[in-house]
Amino acid sequence: MNEIGILARLRHQNLVTLYGCTSRHSRELLLVYEFISNGTVADHLHGDRAESGSLPWPTRMSIAIETAQALSYLHASDIIHRDVKTNNILLCKNFHVKVADFGLSRLYPNDVTHVSTAPQGTPGYVDPEYRQCYRLTEKSDVYSFGVVLIELISSKPAVDITRDYHDINLANLAIKKIQNRAVHELVDPCLGYDTDVTVKGKMTSVAALAFRCLQKEKELRPSMDEVLEVLKGIESEDYKNAMDGGQGSAEVIDIPMDYAVEGPSKNKNNNNTPPPPLRTPPAAPPNSFNDKGVSN
Do residues 16 and 74 make contact, with C-beta atoms less than 8 angstroms apart?
no
Consecutive sets of 10 residues in the chain, 296 residues long: mean pLDDT of each? 81 92 83 92 90 87 98 93 94 95 69 50 86 86 97 96 92 94 93 94 96 95 97 78 38 44 42 42 40 38
Structure confidence at residue 133 (pLDDT): 78
Structure confidence at residue 99 (pLDDT): 96
> What is the spatial distance between Cα 99 and Cα 172, in angstroms, rounded to a whole number?
25
Q: Count the domains in the chain.
A: 1
Tell me which residue range forms the domain holding 111.
2-295
> Which is nearest to 35 in space by CA: 84, 87, 104, 90?
90
- CATH number of 202's domain: 1.10.510.10
Structure confidence at residue 159 (pLDDT): 94
> What is the spatial distance between Cα 87 and Cα 68, in angstroms, rounded to a whole number?
15
Structure confidence at residue 13 (pLDDT): 95
Query: How many CA within 13 A on the CB side of residue 245?
Result: 3
Structure confidence at residue 289 (pLDDT): 41
Tell me which residues are annotated as active site: 83
Do residues 209 and 227 make contact, with C-beta atoms less than 8 angstroms apart?
yes
